[in-house]
Amino acid sequence: MKEVCGLDKSQANYGWCFDCVPEENSLYLKVEGELFEMASNNLVFYQTRNLLSGPVEARFG
């Protein structure tokens, strides 16, 4: 993304987008120096309100 979008190369990380198909996406986390891959639906189910907002969660669950 830094090359394609001309973003600041001194920054460590950038996020791009979430395509709303969590079954096809993973999150990569570094936990105590170890890279850990987790299915993104774990985040969707655990943090629904933070990801979608209160009104959307209330309407769609």
Tokens 């639906």 belong to residue:
41
**3-class state of residue 53 by DSSP:** coil
Contacts of residue 25, defined as CB under 8 A and 6 or more positions apart, other chains included, come to: 18, 19, 39, 40
Return the pLDDT at 32.
94
Query: In a structure prediction context, what are the per-residue pLDDT tens digits for the chain, which is 61 residues long?
Result: 788 778 888 988 777 666 667 677 888 889 999 999 988 888 888 888 888 888 888 887 7
- What pLDDT score does 33 carry? 93
Asked if 41 and 47 count as a contact pair (C-beta separation under 8 A), the reply is no
Contacts of 29 (CB under 8 A, 6+ apart): 35, 36, 37, 38
Rg (CA), the chain: 15
Q: What pTM was computed for the model?
A: 0.46
According to the model, what pLDDT value does residue 59 have?
A: 85
Per-residue pLDDT, 16: 67
